[in-house]
Amino acid sequence: MNKNIVILISGRGSNMEAIVRSAIPGAHIAAVIANRPDAAGLDFANRHGIATAVVDHKAYANRETFDAALAEAIDTHAPHLVVLAGFMRVLTARFVAHYTGRLINIHPSLLPAFPGLHTHARALESGVKLHGASVHFVTADLDCGPIIIQAAVPVRDDDDEQSLAARVLAQEHRIYPQTVRWFVDDRVVLVDGRARVTNGQSGAEGWTVPLTEADSP
């Protein structure tokens, strides 16, 4: 049976695009939902025949009513997995609890370093030599849920925010489709509050797969 995937975006949607283009066997991209009517990624989804919807946060008085409307739009598609792909809204604890174990996010840093915004500038400022991206389960605490996969990239001496962001984004486009693939194959499990990726055979023992940039210097 296909698994229904609902992807939430706020803007460009390049991670959503990477997931769609991966054409993951067993994954049905049921809908792409944006909180902004001008989210550029909606065009791509429409052109690919994917159902789209906008739940404009500006039309709601507070987070609770927005999240309730958003959940209603999502649940129309009976999702097995809800994927936050550059979705720039803080979600209520109630919303997060409703999707426990089936709500994931991608964050452009090696968590727990640099939660929140402006991660690339902060990485440069702090002088770290490795930076990257993390896919994690969403919990009520921002950017704090169990980490499923990370990809690391080197920080080069001549990097600026743009060059570093581009290097990280290339890895995001690799690890996010990979994560969705693991979900579709029932390979992601939560054990004692930690995410494990099983080998798909024993189902018992698992491991997370560290990735590093293939062409590191």
Interface with ligand GRF by CB under 6 A: which residues? 9, 11-15, 85-86, 106-108, 169, 172
Q: In terms of C-beta density within 10 A (0-12 exposed, 13-18 middle, 19 or more buried), how is residue 164 classed? A: buried
Q: Which of 77, 80, 107, 120 is catalytic?
A: 107
Least distance in angstroms from the C-beta of 108 to ligand GRF: 4
Query: What are the residue ranges of helices labelled H in 116-160?
Result: 119-126
> What's the min distance (Å) between Cβ of 85 and ligand GRF?
5
* Tokens (6 digits) for 74: 């999502």
Least separation in angstroms between residue 168's CB and ligand GRF is 7
Q: In 71-95, which positions are buried (b, 16+ CB within 10 angstroms) versus exposed (e)?
A: beebeebebbbbbbbbbebebbeeb
The count of other CB atoms within 10 Å of the CB of residue 162 is 9
Known catalytic membership, residue 48: no
Buried b (16+ CB within 10 A) or exposed e, 175-187: bbbbbbbbbbbeb
Closer residue to ligand GRF in complex, CB, 106/184: 106
Q: How far is the CB of 58 from ligand GRF (least distance, A)?
A: 19
Nearer to ligand GRF, 12 or 181 (CB): 12
Q: Using the minimum distance from each CB to ligand GRF, give the nearer residue, 67 or 172.
A: 172
Q: CB–CB of 31/10 below 8 Å?
A: no
| Residue among 99 and 114 whose Cβ is closer to ligand GRF | 114
Residues with catalytic function: 107
